[in-house]
Structure 1
Amino acid sequence: MIAASRERRLSVRALVAVVTTLLLAAALAHGLPAASATAAENARSATDRSAEARSATARSQRWVGGWGTAMTPPGLSGYSATGFADRTLRMVERLTAGGSAVRLRLSNAYGTSPLDLGAVTVARRAKGAAVEPGSSRTVRFGGQRSTTVPAGAEAVSDPVPLSTKADTDLVVSVHLPTATGPTTWHPWAKQTNYLSGTGAGDHTGDVSGAAFGEKTTSWFFLDGVDVLAHRAKGTVVAFGDSITEGGVTANDSNRRWTDELGRRLAARPGGQRLSVVNKGIGGNRVLTDAGTQGQGNRNLGNSAESRFARDALEQTRVSDIIVLEGTNDLGSDAGVHPGTPLTADQLIAGLGRLAQRAHAAGLRVHGGTITPNGKLTARGERMREDVNRWIRTSGAFDTVVDFDAALRDPADPHRMLPAYDGGDTVHPNDAGLRVMARTVDLSALGRG
Structure 2
Amino acid sequence: MRRALVAALLVFPLSILSGCGSGLPAGTRWVAAWGAAMQGTAAGPHGPLPGDRAIDQTLRLIAPLTAGGDHVRVRLSNVYGASGARFQSITVAVRSHGAALMPATVQPVTFQGSRSVTLAPGSEATSDPVALALGAGQDLAVSLYVRGSSPVATLHVSQPTTSYFTAPGAGDATGDTGGQRFARASRLVPWLTAVDVLSREERGALVALGDSLTDGAGLPPDRDARWTDQLAARLQSLPSGRREAVVNEGIAGDSLTLAHSIPSGADRFARDVLGQSGANEVVLALGIEDVAAGVSAAAIEQAMLAIVRQSRKDGVRVYAATLVPAALAASERQVRLALNRWIRMSPSFDGVIDLDAALRDPLHRERLAPRYDSGDHVDPNAAGVRAIARVAAAALAGRG
Normalising by structure 2, what TM-score? Answer: 0.90
Out of 279, 287, 304, the residue aligned to residue 351 of structure 1 is 304
Give me the whole-angstrom Cα distance separating, in 2, the residues matched to 1:446 and 1:197.
50
Tell me by how many angstroms 1:268 deviates: 1.2
1:233-272 residue pairs with structure 2 within 5 A?
Answer: 233-270=203-240
Distance 1:272 1:137, change over 3 A: farther
1:188-244 alpha-carbon deviations (Å, 9 max, x no partner):
111211111111100000001110111111100000000111221111000111100
1:102-121 residue pairs with structure 2 within 5 A?
Answer: 102-121=72-91
Structure possessing the higher radius of gyration over alpha carbons: 1
Give me the whole-angstrom Cα distance separating, in 2, the residues matched to 1:442 and 1:359.
23
Distance 1:82 1:204, change over 3 A: same
- Return the structure number with greater helix share: 1
Give me the whole-angstrom Cα distance separating, in 1, the residues matched to 2:63 and 2:372.
26
1:134-187 alpha-carbon deviations (Å, 9 max, x no partner):
111111111111111111011100101111111121111000112112420000
Out of 22, 36, 39, the residue aligned to residue 72 of structure 1 is 39
SS of match in other structure, 2:194: strand
Give me the whole-angstrom Cα distance separating, in 2, the residues matched to 1:441 and 1:273.
12
Give me the whole-angstrom Cα distance separating, in 2, the residues matched to 1:111 and 1:439.
38
For structure 2, the residue ranges without an aligned partner over 5 or more in a row are 1-10, 14-23
Tell me by how many angstroms 1:77 deviates: 4.7
Please tell me whether residue 61 in structure 1 is matched to residue 28 in structure 2: yes
Out of 335, 353, 360, the residue aligned to residue 313 of structure 2 is 360
In structure 2, the residue matched to 1:203 is: 173
Tell me by how many angstroms 1:331 deviates: 2.3
Distance 1:280 1:2, change over 3 A: closer
Number of residue-to-residue matches in the alignment: 377
Q: Residue type matched to 1:306 in 2?
A: D
Distance 1:233 1:211, change over 3 A: same
SS of match in other structure, 1:188: coil
For structure 1, the residue ranges without an aligned partner over 5 or more in a row are 4-56, 292-300, 333-340
Tell me by how many angstroms 1:371 deviates: 1.1
1:80–1:185 CA contact under 8 A, matched in 2: no
Runs of 4+ off more than 6 Å: none
Please tell me whether residue 434 in structure 1 is matched to residue 394 in structure 2: no
Give me the whole-angstrom Cα distance separating, in 2, the residues matched to 1:346 and 1:168.
41
1:1-54 alpha-carbon deviations (Å, 9 max, x no partner):
999xxxxxxxxxxxxxxxxxxxxxxxxxxxxxxxxxxxxxxxxxxxxxxxxxxx
SS of match in other structure, 1:279: strand
In structure 2, the residue matched to 1:38 is: none
Distance 1:357 1:271, change over 3 A: closer
Out of 285, 295, 298, the residue aligned to residue 342 of structure 1 is 295
SS of match in other structure, 2:149: coil
In structure 2, the residue matched to 1:306 is: 267
1:81–1:183 CA contact under 8 A, matched in 2: no
Give me the whole-angstrom Cα distance separating, in 2, the residues matched to 1:290 and 1:111.
17
1:196–1:214 CA contact under 8 A, matched in 2: yes
Tell me by how many angstroms 1:347 deviates: 1.6
1:279-294 residue pairs with structure 2 within 5 A?
Answer: 279-291=249-261
Out of 323, 345, 348, the residue aligned to residue 396 of structure 1 is 348
Q: Residue type matched to 1:190 in 2?
A: P
- Return the structure number with greater strand share: 2
1:330-350 alpha-carbon deviations (Å, 9 max, x no partner):
222xxxxxxxx2222112221
1:283-342 alpha-carbon deviations (Å, 9 max, x no partner):
001111231xxxxxxxxx21111111000112101100100001111222xxxxxxxx22
Tell me by how many angstroms 1:372 deviates: 1.5
1:190–1:250 CA contact under 8 A, matched in 2: yes
In structure 2, the residue matched to 1:42 is: none
Give me the whole-angstrom Cα distance separating, in 2, the residues matched to 1:313 and 1:126.
32
CA RMSD of aligned residues (A): 2.0
Q: Residue type matched to 1:162 in 2?
A: L
In structure 1, the residue matched to 2:357 is: 405
Q: Which has the higher contact order (CA 8 A, sep 6+)?
A: 2
Most deviating of 361-370 and 341-350: 341-350
SS of match in other structure, 2:103: coil
